[in-house]
Structure formats: C-alpha cells, structure tokens
Amino acid sequence: MNKVKKVTIQDVAKYANVSVGTIDRVIHNRGKVSPEKKQKIEEVIQKLNFNPNLLARTLALGNRFQICALIPSAPYSDHYWSIPKSGLEKAETMYKHFGVVVDIFYYQLFDESSFNDQAQKILSQNPDGIILAPLFIHESQLFVRQLEEKAIPYVFIDSDLPGQNSLSYIGPDLEQSAFIAAKLLDSVLEKEGDLLMLHMVKGYENAVALKRIESGFEKFFSNRNDNPDRIHKLTINSTNKEAVFRELTKFYIKNQNIKGVFVTNSKAFLVSDFHLTHELNIKIVGYDLVQENVSHLKSGSIDFLISQSPQQQGMKAVQSLFELFVYKKEPEKIQNVPLDIIIRENVDFYLNFN
Amino acid sequence: MNKVKKVTIQDVAKYANVSVGTIDRVIHNRGKVSPEKKQKIEEVIQKLNFNPNLLARTLALGNRFQICALIPSAPYSDHYWSIPKSGLEKAETMYKHFGVVVDIFYYQLFDESSFNDQAQKILSQNPDGIILAPLFIHESQLFVRQLEEKAIPYVFIDSDLPGQNSLSYIGPDLEQSAFIAAKLLDSVLEKEGDLLMLHMVKGYENAVALKRIESGFEKFFSNRNDNPDRIHKLTINSTNKEAVFRELTKFYIKNQNIKGVFVTNSKAFLVSDFHLTHELNIKIVGYDLVQENVSHLKSGSIDFLISQSPQQQGMKAVQSLFELFVYKKEPEKIQNVPLDIIIRENVDFYLNFN
DNA sequence: ACCATTAATGTGTGCGCACACACTTATTTA
DNA sequence: TAAATAAGTGTGTGCGCACACATTAATGGT
C-alpha cells in the first residue's frame, strides 16, 4: 500500500527549521517574518510541494458560506424549475462539507411582489453570495443594486441581465438555441411550407430575450437567402389552454400552409395538443424537458426539444460562488451551457436526476 | 448572519446525557451500549438532525483511497481518450480533499502486452478501486479475475464486459446510439438512397459491441418495414488512411446509390476526407468529438456526431467508487450516459473541458 | 463473601490547520 | 538607564471526529 503521505505544515516547519507559526505567517503573508526565512520557507514549500489540506483548513476556520438562491417556485413536481433546483441541491450536498449552505427562496412566476418579498428576506440574511433567476427585469435590477451596495456577489442563471455587474451568467446562448431550432425544424420539413415562431407571454417576460430568440431563428433562414415571408410570428398573451387554442385557431385559419412551429417557451405541449385535436400534421420544436413535453415527444407529436442543461446551471452557479469564496477564483463572465438536442430516442438519458 | 450552527457529536452527547464515546459506539454500532441508551441516542440523533461532519471524519481517519484507472493512452492532445482522462482528473481534484488519489495508467490502443504490463503494475499497488476501459476483452477478463481474488472493486467505462462482477458499467447504450444514428441519417436523406454502416477494426475490437451497434441501426429501419437491402455493411480491417481509401473506392464503385454513411467508430473524418477528395455528396453520421471530426463537422462535411459524454464517464466512475468507499453506497449496475446529438451549431458548447 | 469477568461508559489523543497568545531579542523613547 | 515598543519567533488550543485506552458498574463462579 503506497500511502502517498501528504505533506503537512509540520513537515515544512521541520524541514525549514522553524515553527509552524512562521510557516503560517508566510502562507497567509501576515508579515512579521524575516526576509531570509521567508524565502527559505517558500523554497521548501515548493520543493516539498506542500498544499494546505482544505479539509483541515475548513475545519479550523469553521467558516460557513451562505448562498441564497432566488428562483421561481415549481408549482408541481416535474415542473421546469424543479430541475435547476435539483442542481442547486446536488451542488449543496457536494460542497456542504466545506461549509456551504444553499438556501432557496421561491417567487411566483407571475407575481413581482412575491419576488420583492423574497428578495428582501434574502437581504435581511446578509448572505455571502446570491444565485438569481432574473425573470422580472425591473425588480431584478433593483435587487441587484442593493446587492452591490452590500458588496454581495451574485450570479444569474437561466436568463441574463446584461449591463449588470454579475459575477457570471450561467445559461443558454438564446440566439444560438433559436438558430438550432430553425435548423432542426428545417431538417424535417423537406424544404417547403411556412413556419411559425410562436411566443406565449404574460407581459412580464424579458423582451430582450425574445428579441434574441427571434434574431437567431431568422438568421438561419436569411443565411440561406430564404424567402422571409416563409416565417410567421405570433404572440399570444397567455399560457392558458383555452386562450392559446382560440388564438391558434384564428391564426391557422388565416395561414393554412404552416408546416412547422417553433415554440419559444416550454409550452410546446399546448401546441401539440392543439395539433392532435385538430388532426394537423405540423412539426414542432420546443424548449425544455418538462413532463408534458416529454410525453408528447415520446408519442411523436413533438419532434425536437432543446434542453438547456438546467441541472448543470444550478450546479455551476454554486460551484462558481464556492470557488470565488475559497480560491478567490473569478469565473467566466458568461458560462453558456450545452444546448442538448432531445429526440424521442435519447430523451431517457437526460431524465434521471438522482 | 445566521450561523446555522452545525450539530456535532458533542451536542448529541450533552443532549442525551452520555459521553461522546457512547455516541460513537451507536453511530458505528460497535455494540457495548445498553438498549435504552442506544434508543435514546438514536432518537436524539433524529431530533437534532445530526449528520457527522465528513471533513472531520476524513481528517481523523486519515484514510486514503487509491483509485487506479487503466485506459488507453492519448497519443496526442485532442485525442478521444484525453477527454475521459480529463473527467478523471476533474473528479480527483473534487474528491482529493477526502483522501482520494486517482492514478492513471495507460496502455497502447493496439498493444495487448502494454495492457498486461500496466495491469500488473496496478495490482502491485494494491489499490482500493479500479476504473477500467476493457477494450481488450480477453486480457480484461484475466485482469478482472485477479481483481476479484483480491476483492478490489472495479468499474468499467466506455465499453462493457457483460457477465463480469463489475460494480458498474458507465458508458453509452450502444444499441440505442446506433438507433439514433439511423434516425439522424434518415432525417437528412429524404427517404431514399442506400445506406452504409462502416466498421473499421484492427482485430482486437469488442465483437459484441459491434453486434449491438448493428442491431440498433437495423432496428430503426426494420421498425419501419424498410427494404433491408437498403442497408449495406462494410468492414475495413484498418484505420490507416490509405487502406481505408482503397477499400472505400472499391466499395463505392460497386455501390453507387449510397447516400449516407454511419461510421461506427470515431474515424468518421477519414470517410469525410474521402468524400471530399472524390466530390461525393454523401451524408455522414459518426461518433465522438475528436478534433478531426469536429473540424469536419464545422465545415459541413460531417452532418452529425454522437457524443457519449466522455468526460462525465470519467467523473461518474470516480464518484461511484468514492461513494462506495465512504457511504458504502452501491451504484447502479448500468449507468448509461447521455447520448448527445452534436451538430455544427451546438458543438462549441460541448468543447470546453476546463 | 471474595475476586474475576464482562458489560457499559467515560477520557484522552491526534488528524492538519488557523489563530490568539506568549516569548524572545533588538531598538527606541522618556 | 529603565522602561516602553516593535520585530521576529514559538506555543497552545480548538475545529469534529475516530479510536485506543481507562474507568466504573453489574454479574458470575467458587
């Protein structure tokens, strides 16, 4: 058994003929060390390849890093937001031994006041770092301003709020994701028929994000010099089934040559439902592995889903903050996650979140 | 600052009116504890939600877990095997604080004797766990037998060796991956033209694996009652460019209606090269994000690559062994990794291995 | 009734580190 | 010249746990 005996601070001390206290001073440059010894010690550290034992350090310091996350609540299991949440939790169990605590606060998806309430609660806790899904632009900006006053670092997940001093944005490249959606739709369409890009919004959505998506989608076709009239856009101000059905009916009656739909949120299953009830053979590309989408994908009524590694987003967010706390390591300002292309045949591999 | 004071063994002791030694006995059931106290203590542990501090435990035990990995060497950077390797290393830095050491041993891809040499070296180290890429079936079986004699747990990555007592297999579902390849090829082919499934082997490959791939590929078309004559198979006993070109020339002259090729190893770029030099417009689906494949994908001469999360394989392997060591937790016997569908538009997101 | 077992419990030490504190010398200052 | 100050060092304690060992209480045999 080759016990790769770890080099300890004691070893360094013995080797350099000083006490551990002096080593400690050098490591943390607290001064009060004669230049000669300092240099000697630094050499010894090099030679012995000494690395402080993070375990012992954490134990001795007893430091706790409180990370607060502010994300939408998942009203039911299998809801989209339960996945980033599971990523946060997974990362917490990973890092909890190093004193990391992740407290998750939830706001209601269409209720800014709940956002503000929770934000204030978080502020009163004086956490060491924040993970924020800034779905409400204005409220998020206000919150972020307060964080900056308190010098609390924060990362965005899921969607970005450019122009802020966030430590990092961890999420999809939206424009590229729409470009991919376009390509996928095109690949199943035999190069003919019209296309619909369908937004469903409730008025609070990030308009910049939608613009990016539109631009990515259109870019694919303009790159090919396609006829721009092929692409239709429809915005429905609701995610309510009846409302969506009503609007879709109206639209499809006027536009009978639609062969493919790109649904720009996670509600592709609603459109799929509509197609099924009206026996329309129209292809669908959507976002996110929410339960309804998955079952429509498996039954073949949705063709592609684009998944933006939601679990990884949660994990990376915690990881980025942890590394900042412990190693003073600044993460990349933008961390784009993989855009997974999901079809019926590979969906199962993406579904197990232990 | 809400210091979420962690519950320690001391707290439990005080609360239960016993000494820490008794708590310790209960936790590790070393016996010698009166039933009443035992029950009392267990209740207190529940009530206070006591969780042993893994840091302190690791520090106190001073245990080191040596994991040896035996994988093919990566002759150049960007080689396929550098990715699982990076996964192993990433996991090591993650778990090194808990005493995990991952020693990687390399064998030459087409040299069984190098495999045996390294295997013996590993055995002489008496490691606590093994990660093995069992590309050489016979030699791997021999190695595994020796591991079992020594009761050293082992996991397979990349390819499975069914019928062995491995702790886990961490890798792709090959059959499904070929099924996906078929679907992708089909989706870009406008439902006509012949298909080629191309093996390149050097005689040492896992025949069972190839059978699985064939079966998955064929299943897709037979599910649709396609004409089986559409599918051609070719096996080239080399990965040498000249040899491959020669054999492909021979084949394409005889089979002029081929519209798509599925390359069953990571050498799709060779076929792509061939198509480019001979100006053939034939679609390609292949495996793995090796550097040459990526550049052909980006230039458009390869259409799809299927990636089998190589980095995750390395990470999960270490993780599985770690959890076995520390938590006595047996992993799933088969851990299939995601089969990522890679196209030009999303490849970049999969390429950064910090 | 005595000592020898055995069961049940408590105590002390070290893992590697950070940090407060104590201790030396040399250098000022009153 | 004594005392205060500073620069450079060493020592001791605790973080939470595991484990060897010391101690006490309960039971047995003769």
Q: What is the pLDDT of residue B79?
A: 86
The answer to whether strand C lies under 7 Å from the CB of residue A4 is no
Question: What's the pLDDT tens digit per position in B169-211?
Answer: 999 999 999 999 999 999 888 778 899 999 998 766 677 889 9
Report yes or no: B305 and B286 within 8 Å, Cβ to Cβ. yes
Q: How far is residue A349's CA from residue A79's CA, in Å, rounded to a whole number?
A: 18
Mutate: best of A339, A345, A347, partner B, most B CBs <10 A:
A345
Separation between the CA of A41 and the C1’ of D1 (whole angstroms): 39
The answer to whether strand C lies under 7 Å from the CB of residue A57 is yes
Question: What's the pLDDT tens digit per position in B39-79?
Answer: 999 999 999 999 899 889 999 998 889 999 999 999 887 78
Q: What is the pLDDT of residue B145?
A: 97
Separation between the CA of B23 and the C1’ of D26 (whole angstroms): 21
Crossing angle (nearest 10°) for helices A241-254 and A268-277: 60
Residue A178: list chain B partners with CB under 8 A. Answer: none
- Tokens coding A233: 């856009």
* Those residues with Cβ within 8 angstroms of residue B151's Cβ, 6 or more apart along the chain or in another chain: none
Residue A55: list chain B partners with CB under 8 A. Answer: 55, 58-59, 97-98
Q: Which one of B55, B343, B346 has the shortest CB-CB distance to A58? A: B55
Q: Is A131 helix (H, G, I), strand (E, B) or coil?
A: strand
Residues A196-219 have a mean pLDDT of 87
Separation between the CA of A353 and the C1’ of C8 (whole angstroms): 45
Looking at chain A, the whole-number percentage of residues with pLDDT higher than 70 is: 97
Bases on strand C under 7 Å from any protein CB: 7-12, 14-21
Q: How far is residue B9's CA from residue B7's CA, in Å, rounded to a whole number?
A: 7
CA distance B161 to chain A (A): 21
Q: How far is residue A78's CA from residue A240's CA, in Å, rounded to a whole number?
A: 19
Q: How far is residue A288's CA from residue A304's CA, in Å, rounded to a whole number?
A: 10
Region for A256 from its dihedrals, namely left if φ exceeds 0, alpha if ψ lies in -120 to 50, beta otherwise: alpha
Residues B316-327 have a mean pLDDT of 94
Report yes or no: B189 and B233 within 8 Å, Cβ to Cβ. no
Q: Is B174 helix (H, G, I), strand (E, B) or coil?
A: helix
Is there a contact between A176 and B346 if contact means CB atoms under 8 Å apart? yes
Side chain identity at residue A187, one-letter code = S
Element (H, E) at B157: strand B154-157
Q: What is the pLDDT of residue A4?
A: 55
Q: Which one of B94, B98, B346 has the shortest CB-CB distance to A339? A: B346
CA A229 to mean position of chain CA atoms: 34
* Those residues with Cβ within 8 angstroms of residue B49's Cβ, 6 or more apart along the chain or in another chain: B7
Side chain identity at residue A125, one-letter code = Q
By C-alpha distance, the chain B residue nearest A128 is B1
Q: Which residue is nearest to nucleotide D10 (CA to C1')?
A: A19
Q: How far is residue A230's CA from residue A214's CA, in Å, rounded to a whole number?
A: 14
Which of the four pLDDT bands, split at 50, 70 and 90, describes residue A203? Answer: low
Question: What's the pLDDT tens digit per position in A46-91?
Answer: 999 998 998 899 999 888 899 999 999 998 877 899 999 999 999 9
Separation between the CA of A95 and the C1’ of D20 (whole angstroms): 32
Question: What's the pLDDT tens digit per position in B100-118?
Answer: 999 999 999 888 999 999 9
